[in-house]
Amino acid sequence: MLTTLSIRNVVLIEALDLEFGAGLGVLTGETGAGKSILLDSLGLALGARADSGLVRSGEAQASVSATFEPPAPDHRAARLLADNGIDIEPGEPLIIRRTLKADGGSRAFVNDQACSAALLRELGGALVEIHGQHDDRGLLNPRGHRSLLDSYGRCDTGAVASAHAAWRAAADKLAESREAVEIAARDRDYLTHAVEELSRFAPEPGEEAALAEERATMQKGARLADDLSAVTDCLTGSDGGLAQLRQAARRLDRIVSEYEPLADVLAALDRAVIEAGEAEDRLAGAAEALSFDPARLDAIETRLFDLRGLARKHQVQPDDLAALRDDMAAKLAAIEGGEEHLAALEAEVAARAADYARAAQALSAARKGAAARLDVAVAGELAPLKLDAARFRTVVAPLEEGQWSAHGMDRVEFEISTNPGAPFAPLVKIASGGELSRFILALKVALAEQGGADTLIFDEIDRGVGGAVASAIGERLARLARTNQILVVTHSPQVAARGAGHMLIAKSSDGTVTRTGVHALTDGERREEIARMLSGAEITVEARAQAERLLEV
């Protein structure tokens, strides 16, 4: 609900702060007093096109702030703000502010957080509906008619949404599987050859590193074999160093028995023989470790070359060849069992489509029943509003299958015919602003609490009517105000008398500057204003008495 509106430097308004309450609020004033400026100011705050002509002459910029009660968490406005990353503390009022520079630049804010004009426009539509001669939102927008009808008829759309989701999921799975099978089938020959080739080769993860290490070891052995052989020859054999050491030690052993001082030399020779023997053993071990089979080395190099060649061919790492083989084998298996699998998926899609069709047809039937009831309800409101020659109908028409959605298989639109024999047409095609506003009122009364913004503004809904019709309009506005905040700009005393609050819009001038102001009327001032609306420039006793009677209704 709109609670306050602050306007600065908009056309004839220098500074204006207004407070609004619940129920039906009326705004009256003489023609040219500035009622349209007030609505233009509110429209600017709600995201209307920024026209630099709204900036008061001589001022650098204009600004308008509109404050609303805190929206409920599930309110469309709250969801919009959350989706766009604008945070509002629980219980905090919603403040929309728009500034407009004289050069045409504008900025928008929600609780002092900058936002785009597009978001402001969408947010404004969720908070306020303004119904006037040129309004093309609210009930005039066919995109909202289906949800309004569903709310009015309490049509359960959940089953259709669930069935549609299941149908789409099955269809997506079928499409993915069909594409996979088609791609695999095109590559059947390639896959068959590749799987056979890889299976024959039988690559294993880690094989490249093992082969490369074994080859490096063998190549090292080939380089060191001759040197090891020469070193071994120096130590071993009848003429080798170790044999000479042993022979020297035996001879020295005989000498030591006769010449004791050489015992230390014999001990050194014995140690040399022992260490030379250990060296011989280690050389033998090294030679064995570095020994290689040329045929084995050739086989390793061939295997390693082929392994790396296959990896390059399939554009993978050598260690990934085994996994590639398994993946290709799985694709081949999918080709073999593909048609059977696709047939099962096609049956699933058909079953889910049938479920959706049943749910959607039941929803269509419920909508048609609700449409018939709504048509009767609206028809009952037309005659008292001097629209007795008009006809209203709710069109529930089937959509093409390609347009079926989670909302069902129906197109819903409100249509009217304003004269006998005239064809039905969308609400937005109505030429007369007064007729359009009264149609909107009839629809709003019939729909009661079914969706829409919390605040509704009717601009001169009583244009061109009076007497009983004006009374009927006032009575219906008051009825609608039980569940919504209603603001109405009116020239009708019958409508004005129904208001819970009354504001007078007046223009004043000091000879040099003209200003528009708004004044909340007391009970006595309100009686005088309604009497003026009844009698014109000169307020008569009869007019005051009639005003009293209207206020007592």
- Chain centroid to Cα 149, Å, comes to 25
CATH of domain 2-156+427-552: 3.40.50.300
Give the span between the Cα atoms of 368 and 149, in whole angstroms: 9
Predicted confidence at residue 134, as pLDDT, reads 47
pLDDT tens, 386-437? 888 888 999 999 999 999 999 999 999 999 888 888 888 887 676 466 677 7
Using 50, 70 and 90 to split pLDDT, how confident is the model at 289? low
Instruction: List, in order, residues 6 or more apart from 217 with CB less than 8 Å away.
Output: 290, 292
Backbone dihedral angles phi then psi of residue 484, each to the nearest 5 degrees:
-135, 155
Using 50, 70 and 90 to split pLDDT, how confident is the model at 356? very high
- Chain centroid to Cα 257, Å, comes to 108
Alpha carbon of 465 to those of 325, 340, 472, 473: distances in Å? 85, 73, 10, 10
Helix (H, G, I), strand (E, B) or coil at 46: coil
- Spell out the domain ranges in the chain: 2-156+427-552, 190-330
pLDDT tens, 123-146? 988 898 887 654 545 577 788 889
Give the span between the Cα atoms of 64 and 45, in whole angstroms: 6
With a cut of 70, say whether residue 80 has pLDDT above it. Answer: yes
pLDDT tens, 197-256? 999 999 999 999 988 888 887 777 667 666 676 777 677 766 777 777 777 778 777 777
pTM, to two decimals: 0.61
Q: Which residue is listed with tokens 């929600």?
A: 110
Give the span between the Cα atoms of 382 and 384, in whole angstroms: 6
Least confident of 108-117, 381-390, 446-455: 446-455
- Asked whether the beta carbons of 430 and 379 are under 8 A apart, the reply is no
Average pLDDT, the chain: 85
- Asked whether the beta carbons of 487 and 27 are under 8 A apart, the reply is yes
- By CB atoms closer than 10 A (0-12, 13-18, 19+), residue 467 is exposed
β-partners of residue 10 are 13, 55
With a cut of 50, say whether residue 472 has pLDDT above it. Answer: yes
445 vs 160 pLDDT, higher one: 160
Predicted confidence at residue 109, as pLDDT, reads 93
In percent, the amount of the chain with pLDDT more than 70 equals: 92
Give the span between the Cα atoms of 363 and 355, in whole angstroms: 12
With a cut of 90, say whether residue 280 has pLDDT above it. Answer: no
Predicted confidence at residue 353, as pLDDT, reads 95
DSSP character string of 91-160: TPPEEEEEEEETTS-EEEEETTEEE-HHHHHHHHHHHEEEESTT--SGGG-GGGHHHHHHHHHT---HHH
Predicted confidence at residue 96, as pLDDT, reads 94
- Asked whether the beta carbons of 64 and 7 are under 8 A apart, the reply is yes
pLDDT tens, 155-187? 989 999 999 999 999 999 999 888 877 777 777
